[in-house]
């Protein structure tokens, strides 16, 4: 015969299983995406497009619903900016170059980092050496780098791109 204690522990067991199932639905970000988030949050040496950190209204071609954006380059990527802070035509970014588009729903409300990292030896690099990801400031991964840019490359290879980058085309 089941005692009250046994029934109680049975219920507890079921609850534990349920909790585990529910918490597993929130996938733990892969270490490679955590690395990309760190990169997007490392503002040391960042250089903004057109040398301006002003938020820009989203362009008609933007792949994102957020109203505002700004784009910056790490030192390795900024080496390919001209005297106006735009990307030099025909640039092929070299390994280590990182470009971060910050997306804001409103001034001061950062909602997403869209990240491009050139690193041909990266496990998640595409055939052109780019690693693509979208990560929220909270660490929630919107598009993991393991997708190899499947959601990004099509749009980013449109005419006028420079090594798959589009700021020059949309913000000349
Ligand atoms: C429908 C088109 C479209 C898609 C899809 C898209 N983007 Fe973009 N992206 C743009 C445009 C246009 C710009 C130029 C800035 C703007 O207008 O938003 C841009 C700019 C960027 C930049 C700044 C560097 C530059 O000059 O291009 C990064 C980084 C970026 N996108 C990352 C991504 C990632 C990562 C994905 C996929 C997860 C992605 N984008 C998908 C259209 C797109």
Q: pLDDT tens-digit profile of 139-157?
A: 999 999 999 999 999 999 9
Q: Ligand 1 mean position to 156 CA, how many Å? A: 6
Tens-place pLDDT, residues 53-82: 999 999 989 888 899 999 999 999 999 999
Ligand 1 pocket by C-beta < 6 Å: which residues? Answer: 58-59, 61-63, 69, 71, 99-101, 114-116, 132-134, 143, 151-152, 155-156, 165-167, 170
pLDDT(91) > 90: yes
Ligand 1 atom nearest to CA at 87:
26
Torsion sign, CA atoms 46, 50, 52, 56:
negative
* Alpha-carbon dihedral angle through residues 144, 147, 148, 149, given to the nearest 10 degrees: -80
- For 119, other C-beta atoms within 10 Å of its C-beta total 16
**C-alpha–C-alpha distance, residues 144 and 122, integer Å:** 14
Ligand 1 atom 9 nearest Cα: 62
Residue 8 has pLDDT above 70, yes or no: no
Average pLDDT, the chain: 90
Res. 5: pLDDT tops 70: no
What is the structure's pLDDT at 68? 97
């Amino acid at each position: 015969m089941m005692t009250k204690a046994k029934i109680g522990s049975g219920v507890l067991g079921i609850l534990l299983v349920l909790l585990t199932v529910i918490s597993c639905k929130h996938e733990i970000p892969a270490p490679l995406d955590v690395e990309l988030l760190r990169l997007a949050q490392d503002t040391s040496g960042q250089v903004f497009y057109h040398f301006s950190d002003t938020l820009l209204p989203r362009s008609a071609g933007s792949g994102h619903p957020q109203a505002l954006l700004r784009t910056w380059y790490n030192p390795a990527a900024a080496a390919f900016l001209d005297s106006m802070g735009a990307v030099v035509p025909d640039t092929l970014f070299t390994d280590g170059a990182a470009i971060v588009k910050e997306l804001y729903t409103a001034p001061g409300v950062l909602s997403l980092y869209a990240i491009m990292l050139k690193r041909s030896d990266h496990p998640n690099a595409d055939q052109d050496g780019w690693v693509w990801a979208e990560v929220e400031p909270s660490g929630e991964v919107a598009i993991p780098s393991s997708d190899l840019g499947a959601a990004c490359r099509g749009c980013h290879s449109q005419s006028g791109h420079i090594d798959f980058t589009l700021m020059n085309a949309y913000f000349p």
